[in-house]
């Protein structure tokens, strides 16, 4: 005969205890998330070597080790840009740090980990069948990435699938050195692409901007971004967005109905990071798109843009590659005037000066022109409504052998109160189905300190340089084929 059963109450309590323990275990496993593995793990699907907090970082050890974690933040922001070769500005014009230099410096500084989110990779001229000396900076960057791996620094890459760069071997080469790569099927998940472009280094430094991991972004395309260094609170917040891509790049991944708590952000429009950047009082936060990739607390990218616009009282200067108050990649196209209406509203209601600089290149969709003309026509100086639109044309010159280049690819906006630097073009798809990120920064001028300017002032100077240059052309003078007349 078997042992006697215990009292019914004890049996029930025992059953409940087992169920409770199982539930806690399941929740724990979900919250860990499949973080990027360490260099010793060669297969992303194997998962991490031991439990770790995705909100803290990718490695099984704390990011940068205990010594680095205890270092106090000394946040610093530097604007970076690429100017196409053979497109000089007037002597004495303001400029930002060269992007190629900034990327190499970030890799030199890396001690533990480099995480990169990028639409696609094409760092060598051979990727597109072009032999041109302007590909050298991209090839040098690829070599530096290999050297970084050789220093036992982990590299994790999240990129879009399928890729535009079908002939590129960059990621295969890096994976052979130990890099971890995940291809995120955004088309399947959200009907968009992974269009974000950012780095997180050692959980302390970040890059965010318009540049893809493409050699043309360093020498043939006009780009703008920002590097924030020694700022772990912001870096670890952006890392959470990287983690959303990483888990969605796992085999058979699905979009969660609710993201686990450790993906949540506590830095946003309503509660930005407050710090001193080089002694300048600063607020900053990151935004993201599409909504499905915005865990609790993350400001949506479209909302960030709209709030920066609505808080302006003097001017809004914006530089973007494409401007469509419609969808671009859905058929039939739908009207989507959200950003267009916001610009008209602030110009009409508060008499904010609006300037919009839009790219015009050989691959520019001519259907954009009527929308720009409509916005320009809204201007009415007699009613104190100031809306001006120009197109920026990069001269092709003797670079016609390089496809999909010679274009202004920047995506930024500046007002007297804030700077916005993003990765998305201005049409509906980039905010509803395609992944992107934005950085919103606001600085107050310090009480003293000659020569110190806010990021708004610096970005405004770069915009005004572009706006007043010979490459910025009014709509009435724009060539229909976007060729530069000199």
Count of structural domains within the chain: 1
Residue with tokens 């509203």: 345
- Residue 198: CATH number of its domain: 3.30.870.10
Reported as a pLDDT band with limits 50, 70 and 90, residue 449 is low
Structure-token pair, residue 17: 């205890």
Mean pLDDT across the stretch 68-74? 68
Position 478 scores a pLDDT of 67
Q: Which residues are bridge partners to 407 per DSSP?
A: 221
Note if 340 is an active site residue: no
Give strand pairing partners of 199.
Answer: 116, 207
Among this protein's residues, is 202 annotated catalytic? yes
Is 355 domain-assigned?
yes
Establish if 31 belongs to a structural domain: no
Task: Give the torsion sign (CA, 158, 161, 167, 169).
Answer: positive
Residue 106 inside a domain? The answer is yes
* Dist. CA 458–CA 453, nearest whole Å: 7
pLDDT digits (tens, 9 = 90+) for 133-174: 999 999 999 999 999 999 999 999 999 998 777 788 999 999
Listed range (6-10, 181-185, 347-351) with the worst mean pLDDT: 6-10
pLDDT at 35: 53
Is position 464 within any domain? yes
pLDDT of 51 over the 80 cut: no
Higher per-residue pLDDT: 38 or 143: 143
Q: What would the two tokens of residue 123 be?
A: 């760092």
Model confidence at 342: pLDDT above 80: yes
pLDDT over 70 at 53, yes or no: no
Q: Say whether pLDDT at 69 is over 70.
A: no
pLDDT of residue 72: 79
pLDDT for 8 beyond 60? no
Residue 11 confidence (pLDDT)? 45
Cα(142)–Cα(144) distance, integer angstroms: 5
Instruction: Provide, rounded to the nearest whole percent, the portion of the chain with pLDDT above 90.
Output: 78
Torsion of CA 33, 38, 43, 48, to 10 degrees: -30
Q: Is 399 a catalytic residue?
A: no
Any domain includes 235: yes
Mean pLDDT to the nearest integer, 121-142: 94
**What tens digit of pLDDT does each residue of 415-436 get?**
999 999 999 999 999 999 999 9
Q: For 85-115, b where at least 16 C-beta lie within 10 A, e where not — what string?
A: bebeeeeeeeebeebbebbebbbeebebbbb
Secondary structure, 3-state, 365-427:
CHHHHHHHHHHHHCCEHHHCECEEEEEECCCCCCCCCCCCCCEECCCEEEECCCEEEECCCEC
Residue at 411 is within a domain = yes
The predicted structure's pLDDT at residue 411? 98
Average pLDDT over residues 374-400: 96
Q: Active site includes 409?
A: yes
Q: For residue 52, is pLDDT > 80?
A: no
Q: Which of 197, 222, 390, 411 is catalytic?
A: 197
How many H-runs (helices) and E-runs (strands) does the chain carry? 13, 21
Asked whether residue 10 is assigned to any structural domain, the reply reads no
Indicate the pLDDT class of residue 270, thresholds 50, 70 and 90.
Answer: very high
Q: Is it the case that residue 24 has pLDDT exceeding 60? A: no
Residue 221 has pLDDT above 70, yes or no: yes
Per-residue pLDDT at 429? 97
Q: What confidence category does residue 445 fall into, taking pLDDT thresholds of 50, 70 and 90?
A: confident
Residue 58 belongs to a domain: no
Range 79-91 average pLDDT: 97
Q: Which among 115, 240, 390, 409 is annotated as catalytic? A: 409
pLDDT tops 60 at residue 62? no
Calculate mean pLDDT across residues 339-354: 98
Is 328 or 70 the better-scoring residue by pLDDT?
Answer: 328
Determine the structural domain holding residue 144 and report its residue range.
76-479
Residue 457 pLDDT more than 50?
Answer: yes
Interhelix angle 338-349/369-377, nearest 10 degrees? 20
Which residue in 195, 240, 390, 399 is the catalytic one?
195
pLDDT at 408 over 60: yes
- Decide if pLDDT at 67 tops 70: no
pLDDT of res. 277: 96
Q: Tell me which of 93-102, 182-191, 214-223, 449-458 is least confident.
A: 449-458
Q: What is the pLDDT of residue 45?
A: 33
pLDDT category, 36, cuts 50, 70, 90?
low
Q: What is the mean pLDDT of the chain?
A: 87
């Amino acid at each position: 005969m078997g042992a006697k059963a215990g009292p019914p109450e004890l049996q029930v309590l025992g059953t409940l205890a087992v169920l409770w323990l199982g539930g806690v275990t399941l929740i724990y496993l979900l919250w860990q998330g499949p973080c990027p593995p360490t260099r010793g793990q060669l297969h992303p699907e194997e998962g991490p070597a031991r439990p770790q907090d995705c909100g803290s970082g990718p490695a099984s050890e704390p990011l940068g080790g205990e010594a680095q974690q205890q270092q106090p933040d000394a946040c610093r922001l530097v604007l970076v840009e690429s100017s196409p070769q053979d497109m000089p500005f007037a002597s004495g014009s303001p400029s930002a740090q060269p992007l190629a230099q900034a990327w190499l410096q970030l890799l030199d500084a890396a001690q533990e980990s480099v995480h990169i989110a990028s639409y696609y990779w094409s760092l060598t001229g051979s990727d597109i069948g072009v032999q041109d000396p302007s590909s050298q900076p991209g090839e040098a960057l690829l070599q530096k990435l290999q050297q970084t791996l050789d220093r036992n620094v982990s590299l994790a890459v999240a990129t879009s699938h399928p890729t535009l760069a079908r002939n590129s071997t960059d990621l295969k080469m890096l994976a052979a050195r130990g890099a971890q790569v995940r291809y995120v099927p955004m088309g399947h998940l959200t009907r968009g692409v992974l269009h974000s472009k950012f780095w997180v280094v050692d959980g302390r430094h970040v890059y965010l901007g318009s540049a893809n991991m493409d050699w043309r972004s360093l020498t043939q395309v006009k780009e703008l971004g920002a590097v924030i260094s020694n700022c772990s609170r912001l870096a670890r917040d952006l890392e959470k967005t990287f983690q959303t891509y990483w888990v969605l790049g796992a085999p058979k991944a699905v979009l969660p109905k609710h993201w686990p708590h450790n993906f949540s952000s506590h830095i946003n429009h309503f509660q930005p990071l407050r710090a001193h950047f080089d002694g300048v009082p600063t607020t900053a936060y990151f935004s993201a798109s599409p909504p499905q990739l915005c865990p609790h607390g993350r400001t949506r990218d479209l909302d960030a843009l709209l709030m920066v616009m609505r808080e302006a009282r003097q001017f809004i200067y914006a530089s973007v590659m494409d401007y469509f108050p419609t969808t671009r990649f859905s058929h039939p196209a739908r009207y989507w005037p959200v950003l267009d209406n916001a610009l008209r509203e602030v110009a009409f209601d508060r008499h904010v000066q609006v300037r919009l600089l839009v790219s015009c290149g050989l691959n520019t969709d001519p259907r954009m022109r009527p929308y720009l003309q409509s916005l320009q026509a809204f201007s009415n100086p007699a009613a104190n409504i100031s809306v001006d639109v120009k197109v920026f044309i990069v001269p092709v010159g003797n670079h016609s052998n390089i496809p999909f280049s010679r274009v202004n690819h920047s995506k930024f906006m500046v007002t007297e109160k804030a700077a916005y630097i993003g990765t998305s073009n201005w049409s509906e798809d980039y905010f509803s189905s395609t992944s992107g990120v934005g950085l919103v920064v606001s600085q107050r001028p310090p009480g003293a300190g000659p020569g110190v300017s806010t990021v708004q002032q610096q970005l405004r100077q770069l915009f005004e340089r572009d706006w007043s240059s010979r490459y910025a052309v009014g709509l009435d003078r724009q060539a229909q084929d976007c060729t530069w007349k000199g």
